[in-house]
Amino acid sequence: MRILTIVQGLYGRRITANIQRAAPPAWSVTSWTLPPVLPQVIDYPEDYLPATLPAADLLLALGEHPGAAELLPEIAQMCGAREALIPIDNVAYLPPGLQRQVAGWLASIGVTAVFPMPFCSLTESTCNAYRRVQNYDAPLVAEFARHFGRPAFAITCHAGAVDGANVVAAVEVLRDTPCGCAGHVAAGLVGVDVEEAEYAAGMRHHHFPCLASMAITPEYNDTLMHVSGHLLRDEVAQGVKPYKRPPVYLRPDGWREAGDQ
């Protein structure tokens, strides 16, 4: 699969670097950088585009300005992309109205677009989180999501040497986040008490730091950074759940359960 990433700043460069580092050998990942400053309305796209772009099957849009999104139909035509992956980690870069416009423009030229919000909510068949989960049908995006998207781990635990409490022994990253945060979190969990693993994962995520916005997003009534952190913590919590101590319940003296003799 040939991937072309469109970047403008640190956000795009960091994601591109992680994908290039960890992509399957059969993938080709190239990048093109847009000007860091663009006008709010672009009347002549050719003024901001090169004469040619590398051929690509999947266009990965990592712009940091609404003007970057306006250029995507021309970019898709130039590189020959059949699908476009347009993550939303900051609504200021792609407001809802512009998202609908871009989706329509791309559809009119036969390009399927997927808009995960946040980027690390992407799976092989869905994007977004919680009650906003949406299904999509885009084979190239699904192939990308086998390797990058919503974090997935295989966690192994064993009894610790000190007090016999279970600790994390190994964490295999089954699917990394596009920015590499999942791999960073996994590396810091080995040796952590399973009772503290979820909290430790949240702190590792927070200190990476996450690239998602800290502005409140109406779709979630929360920040996209918090949504991203919850997705990662939930995955770690599920992974260590079989190894955690069962909860201890206190019963008042003389308490009887229904059916007790």
86 burial (CB, 10 Å; 0-12 / 13-18 / 19+) is buried
* DSSP states along 199-257: HHHHHHHHHS---S--SEETTTTEEHHHHHHHHHHHHHHHHHGGGSPPP-----TT---
Q: What mean pLDDT value characterizes the chain? A: 92
Q: What is the pLDDT of residues 71-95, one digit of tens each?
A: 999 999 999 999 999 999 999 999 9
Quote the pLDDT of residue 171: 97
Q: What is the pLDDT of residues 54-77, one digit of tens each?
A: 999 999 999 999 999 999 999 999
Q: d(Cα 127, Cα 178) in Å, to the nearest integer?
A: 14
Q: What is the pLDDT of residues 155-213, one digit of tens each?
A: 999 876 566 689 999 999 999 999 999 999 999 999 999 999 999 999 999 999 888 99
pTM here? 0.90
Say if CB 120 and CB 149 are below 8 A apart: yes
Q: What angle do CA 137, 143, 148 make, to 5 degrees?
A: 110
Task: Return the axis-axis angle of helices 96-108 and 72-79, rounded to nearest 10°.
Answer: 30
Of the pLDDT bands very low, low, confident and very high (cuts 50, 70, 90), residue 124 is: very high
Which domains are seen in the chain, by residue range?
A: 2-115 (3.40.50.720), 152-243 (no CATH)
Average pLDDT, stretch 127-146?
97
Percent of residues, the chain, with pLDDT higher than 90: 80
